[in-house]
Structure 1
Amino acid sequence: MTERWSWLDLRLVPPAATVWVLTLLAPQLPVGLLLTLAVVATLGAAGLLLAGGPGRAGTLRGVAVRGVVIGCLAAVTVTGAAAAVRAQARAASPLLTLADRGSVVEVVMELTDDPRPVAGAGPARVLVNGTVSQAAGRTVADDPVLLFGTAEEWAGLLPGQAVRTHVLVRPAEPTDDVVAVLSARSPPDPVGGPGLVQDAAGSLRAGLADSAARTLPDRPAGLLPGLVVGDTSAMDPALVEEFRVAGLAHLTAVSGANVAIVVALVLWPLRARAVDRRWQALAAGLAIAGFVVLARPGASVLRAAAMGAVAVLALASGRARAAVPALAATVLVLLLLAPGLATDVGFALSVSATAAIVLLAPGWSRALRRHRAPRPLADAVAVSAAAGVVTAPLIAGLSGLVSLVSLPANLLAAPAVPPATALGVLAALVSPAAPWLADGLTWLAGWPVRWLVVVAERAAAVPDGATGWPAGTRGAVLLAVVLTGVVWALRRWPRLRPLALAALVGVVLVGWPLRQLSRGWPLPDTIVVACDVGQGDALVLPTGPGEAVLVDAGPDPALIDGCLRRLGVQRLPLVVLSHLDADHVGGLAGALAGRDVGEVATGTLAPDDERVSQLDRAVADAGARHVVPLPGDRRTVGSADLEVLAPDPAEAVAGAEPNDLSLVVRATQRGVRVLLTGDLGAEAEARLVAAGLDLGADVFKVPHHGSADADPGFLAASGAAVALISVGADNSYGHPTRRLLDWLADAGMRTHRTDRDGDVAVVGRAGEWGVAVRGPDAVLRATAAAEPLAPGTPGAPRPGAGAPRTRRRPVAAWPRGNSGTSGSDLPAPGRGGRGGAAARAGGLRRARGGPRAPPRQ
């Protein structure tokens, strides 16, 4: 029998797609319309059943078409009715009234998932999913909620555990699958245990994490629990970013591969002993159920478990498995039971990848084998390529990136995943009874996990390994059209395949290296760039392909836009404005326009500052959020760690000098520390030194464009090797002053300034970094510091300066707020919308009309 797609195998796909689309739309539709759709669909299905339906009666195709149409109508009936019931129940929930009032009440809540770390200021915070059974003394119908609490109080709780606590109740978004968002106002008081099963699962998860921490180096130790049970809480944030760029992030989202490995581990000894098929099915079913409890029932886990259950039923009955109907049935059932999965990105990626492997991979593998490729290699290439092609549009739409190293990285990683997962599962199972045995198994698992770390590091380090692409729905649709056209053309005209292969080889072997040899700007491994924007500040911290953190925006929109374009920056997850003087924010419109922007951070602003409302409007127009970090707050954005050092909010009083309220941030990239100081004056600098703050850095952004209003002790306290001065040529203020330059030289710093050097880039990593400049004439030049600075030479880092930390501390993201407020329980958003803030940001500059007071010299 030849292997061909059977049209009948797709008969459950349209009903599943109908359920998915209607589930997505349901929260935005009135209850009356949902009920009307359900009634009309029911009548339509009944009419088709009675009338015989479309198609020619008696033909197989006619029967199949009628079945598909009836299935779609039935899907509309069930989905519409279920959505209407949920909407009615939500509207009747007492939590909605409490949320509208912003009430603080006592609730009894049962956790439905492990607490997860989320963005938040100050102490580490967690997000907790659960259901509320009592609120303010009233019984509630187990309404689903989302709770934010401190990690110290909530992180140790387990799913199934019931607690009593006081919470602030706030409304959820209409499209959310929860009724309300809660903020804990008191520690949880346990009123019910998690149950033996969840308690045991929590013990096994903790045992695996503890064993990994005892046995393995930091990076593999954090990765192993993520690979085995999806616990990524201990993963190095930089490694998370490397996995994303390399196209390996799916490995830490527990899915079908994990379930398949666990089932294979259970069935292997049973099949070796020729155990009856029904006993094999029972063992496989128990293994799937146990693994779901261990890994927690997330979107991809549920999808994989449901697929596995269908396979187990087929095994027990002895009938052949049909993967496409199984996948479609899985999607249909899961969306009806858990509508929130309709908006879950992981679920969409998981379903897409599985469909690609089922529909495309077999044919691609056969084509490769016809060209004499060994079957294992053909299967591996086909599976990776099919999954990569189908999921690429979704990933591009979400991240604005297309990974060019994903396929080879996945091929190299594939052999390491099964042994690491199997050994990790065994280590978790034995950890409570025999920690020594768990450590031995973890040590063995550590070797394939180390390989995965190496693959991710090397793939992420490939220059241009991920290229920028339009983000959002437009980008996803565009890439889907391109890839569909390419695949269709190669299938339709086989003679194009050798030409396409030759073109691909040419790009890889010739075009890519030539681009690297001829590239000028940006340089690989750029740590920070001081943009030449005239008399103002604008610094860029590249954090990933097409992505950067911007610190200040200079005085002119065109100049900062040009600098960002030269660096290939399309996305700004974070913009930091040290203060609101025109030479730091006047160019904000040029930075925001046409780019995806996440958050805009400022220090605590003076209450009488009339520019705050203008900034808020500009930020809102860009689809971003205004956040106000406090001293001690930390944030990781891609490859950069940022720590806020000043100012103290108490200093933001009416009439305070704006320069002295500059946001002071230390950024660390690949072990090199950059101290960003805004326009601090001598008094504020002296206060920071007197407070005993750690001001250590390798690169020092000189405050206030080189003004003499500086504290020599502050300059020396950084211990930096390189000083960057952002200053305009022939400016009327005399910046940088001779006295300031002498102080920098006395502190042992090499000085680079934008008025003479143009854009200035610090490149490299800890122990082997230097400086290069792109002169005002747009010619790239190496400077005296472009060679690695050897310890012990003048202006070189001290031994150990900028060395990477052995273990990263948990990073708290900055709070949302505005107008000097701070603190929020909402998680930090992803990337916001595009630009459109030109008029608003331009208004900032016009409202200022220049510096508030003559600059201090």
Structure 2
Amino acid sequence: MTVRDLRAPALGGAAWLGGIAAAVCPWWVPLGVVVGTAALLLRSRGAGPLVAFAAVAGVTLLHGTALASGPVAQLAQKRAVVGAELTVTSDPRPVAGRFGDLVVVRARVEQLTGRGAAYSLSTPVVVMADASWLGVVLGERLHVSGRLGPADGDSAALLMVRGSPDRIEGPDVWWRVAAAVRGSIRESVEPRQEDTRELVPALVVGDDAGVDPALADDFRTTGLTHLLAVSGTNLTLLVGFLLIASRWAGVRGWWLHGVAAVGIAGFVLLARTEPSVVRAAAMGTVALIGMGGNGRERGPRALGVAVLALLLLDPRLAVTAGFALSVLATAGILWLAPLWRDSLRTWLPRGVAEAVAVPLAAQVACTPVVTALSGEVSLVAVVANLLAAPAVAPATVLGLAGGLVGLVWMPLGQVVAAPAAWSVGWIAVVARRGADLPTAAIAWGTGPVALLLVTLVCLGLVVVVPRVLRSPLAGVACSVLLVVTVLTRPPTPGWPPSGWVLAMCDVGQGDALILRAGPHEGVVVDAGPDPALVDGCLDRLEVTRVPLLVLTHFHADHVDGLSGVLAGRTVGAVEVTALGDPPDGVEEVARATGAAGLRPAVAAYGATRRVGDVTLQTLWPRPDVARFAGDLGEDGSAANDASVVLLAEVDGLRILLTGDIEPPAQLGLSRLVGGLAVDVLKVPHHGSRRQDLGFLTGLRARLALVSVGADNDYGHPAPELVTALESAGTEVHRTDLDGDVLVVVRDGQLGVVARGGVGRRR
């Protein structure tokens, strides 16, 4: 590639650096570059990259200043109550908040009144509202009142409103058409199974609101996440098909450019005009150029121009992971894939060589960023993308075609969309089976050294891979080695340590504990929120038989991982609390246990039994738990306070497992077992602030275990709780800092061994 060919990519790279510098450096650094560039241009030629750097840095500074100094931001600092007319710029999305479910909507404020003044403006905000906002439509103009608050990122403020909005004006016609098509796509696959009917809209237009979180996690593990979001692939497939159909219909010359432009505009409207969609459309356009005549030269030039244009339009993209992944994947496909394809063509057909080279190049280019986000390196991503690739095009094109035909006659639209449903069914199988492999991904870490190392490895692969792929023997040997690696669970020398009696698994924001009942046997108390995490923990502990599984209550962070406990293990009995709340959790437990041929029984209050090496006594809940829970009001704590509380004894240690009981149940329990002393306490409710500190410190535990997710937004564990326990002489261990935590007894001495987070999937 000549220097001339690199000029446009250099502009794009410099622009990207300018956006990053302006976002992370003190304001005077990029400002100095802008001024210096202006002076240099008076005396120099060929300073294009420096101009691009300065231009994007300058736009970023102006954009940030406008957001921070405008009337919306100023009123937000004062937390003013305001009235506003705004236009909705995103679909409403429900999210779980600390004090209940919320609906989040992005909007653009156009009229604002507050603190005795009125303003006409155009400023982005994030609206936080109640469930009545689920019915708002993209493009609607609304009148609302609420309180402003400071916001981070690309919005001037948070606008917290109560009640339903007053509708001033409906969306423009193009938004109504786009909404009709999106609705028709969903309706065309409505008769299909749940995963299928949610995946088709996700693949076609990025509408992933209903995708099962567990399935989405499997897509992340197998490197297929890009299929669930709006990406350049969507646009390339849809507009590419439109161009092929137009050629077949006789369209030629510049008319094809017009068709492509209409297709790109239509795609953006369907997928929404959010920054991520505009970015995806730009990268998809670059891919189309790269597939055209003289694409190996025109594609990189188009990429450089696209990066520069996107950052001038929206400089916030420079520091977003989605932008980085899109640019790197496109660059990998444009620069690396042709070379690697040519290497493979020495012994493979062109089609096979291209099918392998494209996902491999994109994966290598994106791996450093993906690792920084997830702390993992996927080993199955290339194979998963290769297996899923044949199904992506029919799923995307026929999914859209089914929606368009459905606007005219839905029964025919459902027929057209049927192959799309079958195709996404196959993709779901690839994701699930790939994620279930013993070593689908390896934990890597997100520290500077770890990320530098993975980046150096990827750069090394750029040099080595063409030579390896050129040799049939080396290529096959590497493929066999990869297959053996993903099918074999890596050894964990020294784990589990001898003498372990209790394990607190790192399952994120949830509980999963194992009491050692004998060789390869464990009593499991709660299953956490993620089947893969609890399954991995049990595998590392070499637990193959579970004589007793206790689910303290039915919240998702304690029962959603149940299938991971049941997978490949012999389970003797399942016990649950008497309070069947919440219903979703009850249904999940019934489904999973029913599939395994098990029938849960209510844990008998006061019962003492021996399970292998474990002695268990059920201390709580009382037989009148339903009436007790009814006295608690509607603050959401009834299910927590109905948690099964167990007193266990293993190898001479007394261990109290408390589920998520809160102060009312803790008070009731203290009255029943006054003077109880234990060696190990599992801290209730992940260390929340709602605790009876007198009861907990009065247990005189030597160890306190807190099962809690890293960077959770609940503030768990509460600092005052940790301080109180430590002040009482209790040693506190927590999964967000220590990873898997094992309590061990050696020569009569109590100790703790931790894995430091190995095996986490965050």
With normalisation by structure 1, the TM-score equals 0.63
Question: Secondary structure, in 3 states, of the residue corresponding to 1:12?
Answer: helix
Pairing 1:143–2:108 present: no
Which residue does the alignment assign to 2:20? 24
| Count of residues paired in the alignment | 614
Question: Secondary structure, in 3 states, of the residue corresponding to 2:149?
Answer: strand
Distance of aligned partners of 1:38 and 1:689 in 2 relative to their CA distance in 1, 3 Å threshold:
same
1:387-435 Cα distance to aligned partner (Å, 9 max, x none): 1111111111111111111111111100001111111111222333322
Q: Is the 8 A contact 2:509 2:529 kept in 1?
A: no
1:55-78 Cα distance to aligned partner (Å, 9 max, x none): xxxxxxxxxxx3xxx112212332
Pairing 1:159–2:138 present: yes
Distance 1:148 1:635 in 2: 29
Opposite residue 76 of structure 1, the aligned amino acid is F
- Measured after TM superposition, the shift of residue 197 of structure 1 is 0.3
1:278-293 equivalences in 2 (<5 Å): 278-293=254-269
- Measured after TM superposition, the shift of residue 830 of structure 1 is 7.8
Pairing 1:412–2:387 present: yes
1:329-387 Cα distance to aligned partner (Å, 9 max, x none): 1111111111221222222111111100000000111111112x011100000001111
Distance 2:35 2:306 in 1: 25
2:652 to 722, 730, 733: 730
Distance 2:92 2:581 in 1: 36
- Measured after TM superposition, the shift of residue 227 of structure 1 is 0.4
Q: Is the 8 A contact 1:162 1:192 kept in 2?
A: yes
Distance of aligned partners of 1:455 and 1:700 in 2 relative to their CA distance in 1, 3 Å threshold:
farther
2:176 to 180, 192, 199: 199
Pairing 1:460–2:453 present: no
Pairing 1:846–2:726 present: yes
Q: Compare 290-299 and 113-122 and name the one that shifted more.
A: 113-122
Question: Secondary structure, in 3 states, of the residue corresponding to 2:211?
Answer: coil
- Measured after TM superposition, the shift of residue 251 of structure 1 is 0.8
Pairing 1:41–2:37 present: yes
Question: Secondary structure, in 3 states, of the residue corresponding to 1:48?
Answer: coil
Q: Is the 8 A contact 1:424 1:445 kept in 2?
A: yes
Same amino acid, percent of matched pairs:
31
1:793-812 equivalences in 2 (<5 Å): none
1:80 to 35, 43, 57: 57
Distance 2:174 2:277 in 1: 17
Distance of aligned partners of 1:447 and 1:515 in 2 relative to their CA distance in 1, 3 Å threshold:
closer
Pairing 1:422–2:397 present: yes
Q: Is the 8 A contact 1:393 1:479 kept in 2?
A: yes
Distance 1:282 1:349 in 2: 29
Opposite residue 846 of structure 1, the aligned amino acid is E
Opposite residue 123 of structure 2, the aligned amino acid is D
Q: What are structure 2's unaligned runs of at least 5 residues?
A: 535-551, 567-574, 590-599, 607-614, 628-638, 659-679, 692-707, 732-762
Distance 2:579 2:459 in 1: 63
Question: Secondary structure, in 3 states, of the residue corresponding to 2:97?
Answer: coil
Which residue does the alignment assign to 1:444? 419
Distance of aligned partners of 1:482 and 1:496 in 2 relative to their CA distance in 1, 3 Å threshold:
farther
Distance 2:293 2:247 in 1: 17
Opposite residue 405 of structure 2, the aligned amino acid is V
Distance 1:184 1:305 in 2: 33
Q: Is the 8 A contact 1:208 1:428 kept in 2?
A: yes
Which residue does the alignment assign to 1:252? 228
Distance of aligned partners of 1:451 and 1:503 in 2 relative to their CA distance in 1, 3 Å threshold:
closer
- Measured after TM superposition, the shift of residue 87 of structure 1 is 3.4
Pairing 1:551–2:511 present: yes
Distance of aligned partners of 1:143 and 1:189 in 2 relative to their CA distance in 1, 3 Å threshold:
same
1:118 to 66, 82, 95: 95
Distance 2:442 2:328 in 1: 22
Report which structure shows greater RCO (CA 8 Å, sep ≥6). Answer: 1
1:504-541 Cα distance to aligned partner (Å, 9 max, x none): 524634x665657x889999xxxxxx99876xx76426
Distance 2:645 2:29 in 1: 64
Question: Secondary structure, in 3 states, of the residue corresponding to 1:727?
Answer: strand
1:3-37 Cα distance to aligned partner (Å, 9 max, x none): xx333222122322222222223245555554433
Distance 2:689 2:657 in 1: 33
- Measured after TM superposition, the shift of residue 635 of structure 1 is 10
Q: Is the 8 A contact 2:336 2:361 kept in 1?
A: yes
Distance of aligned partners of 1:457 and 1:309 in 2 relative to their CA distance in 1, 3 Å threshold:
closer
Opposite residue 174 of structure 2, the aligned amino acid is V
Which residue does the alignment assign to 2:79? 102
Opposite residue 430 of structure 2, the aligned amino acid is V
Pairing 1:211–2:188 present: yes
Distance 2:487 2:261 in 1: 51
| C-alpha RMSD over aligned residues | 4.7
Distance 1:418 1:500 in 2: 28
Distance 2:371 2:291 in 1: 38
Question: Secondary structure, in 3 states, of the residue corresponding to 2:384?
Answer: helix
Distance 2:486 2:24 in 1: 47
Q: Is the 8 A contact 1:416 1:448 kept in 2?
A: yes
Q: Compare 469-478 and 250-259 and name the one that shifted more.
A: 469-478
Opposite residue 847 of structure 1, the aligned amino acid is S
Opposite residue 398 of structure 2, the aligned amino acid is L
- Measured after TM superposition, the shift of residue 460 of structure 1 is 1.1
Q: Is the 8 A contact 1:490 1:496 kept in 2?
A: no
1:9 to 5, 11, 22: 5
